Amino acid sequence: MRAPISVVIPTLNAARGLPGCAAALMEGLDAGLIRELIVSDGGSSDATAEVADAIGAEVVTGPPSRGGQIGRGCAMAKADWLLILHADTQLDPGWAAAVADHLRTGAPAHFRLAYDATGAGPAITAAWANLRSRLLGLPYGDQGLLIRAEDLHTAGGVPDIPLMEDVALVRRLPRLTALPATARTSFARYAEEGWLRRGSRNLILLLRYLSGTDPSVLAQAYRRSSRRS
């Protein structure tokens, strides 16, 4: 029986985070869950391609747009399930057993979010993300998305948009289940920009997206705000 999961990781200058992300996946490889690892790169200028080759990933390249990158990676996938992860996210030990138990349900799922830092900022930011996921059914991509390939196809695939592709995708799917396992992601950008400022900006972007603002306009606003920080 073939392993049930293809892992898809969109990357852009992700050489620093990718090795840790891949190392955490070894638990699933040992458990017979992972069939392949696909890195979908958006034109990195660092050593991302070399790192991807070193960890045995299949690599697909194309324009830098996370929605488009994820879509290209998923199009290559051969397994029945897709696990979409960000390169700066690592799954905590014990995730493989939780995922194996969940696969029997056939339902899409996400992980609990935590950050790789301590203190009030990381704790509050993660708590809000987990509350948003539970109450509104809107997990983000940094929480890891586990989806049957068939369901992704039925939903029309991953929207090729430059921002909010994860929100657009989960809104097309049945409500995602929260797995009893943790995806631990980098807090670096929050720390650099100020966690309260970045969190507030992200909330405003979400509200603007839900109210109908074009994702391209939101992406421009996001880039401008990042340059000022």
Residue 202: pLDDT above 70?
Answer: yes
**% of the chain beyond a pLDDT of 70:** 98
* pLDDT for the residue numbered 222: 83
In the numeric block, which tokens belong to residue 217?
A: 């306009």
Break the chain into its structural domains and give their ranges: 5-228
Give how far the C-alpha of residue 49 lies from the chain's centroid of Cα atoms, to the nearest Å: 19
Long-range contacts from 123-132, C-beta under 8 angstroms, 24+ separation: 124/195, 124/199, 125/187, 125/190, 125/195, 125/199, 128/199, 130/178
Residue 85 and residue 89: Cα distance in Å, rounded?
7
Residue 51: pLDDT above 50?
Answer: yes
* pLDDT for the residue numbered 1: 73
Residue 221 and residue 229: Cα distance in Å, rounded?
13
The mean per-residue pLDDT over the stretch 34-45 comes to 98
Residue 35's contacts (CB-CB under 8 Å, 6 or more residues apart) are 2, 3, 4, 5, 6, 78, 79
Residue 78 and residue 17: Cα distance in Å, rounded?
25
**Can you give the pTM of this predicted structure?**
0.94
* pLDDT for the residue numbered 217: 93
* pLDDT for the residue numbered 229: 47
* pLDDT for the residue numbered 227: 56
CB 206 within 8 A of CB 128: no
Residue 165 and residue 187: Cα distance in Å, rounded?
20
CATH of 5-228, one of 3.40.50.300, 3.40.1190.20, 3.90.550.10, 3.90.10.10: 3.90.550.10
What is the per-residue pLDDT across 156-180, written as a single tens digit (0 to 9) for each?
Answer: 999 999 899 999 999 999 999 999 9
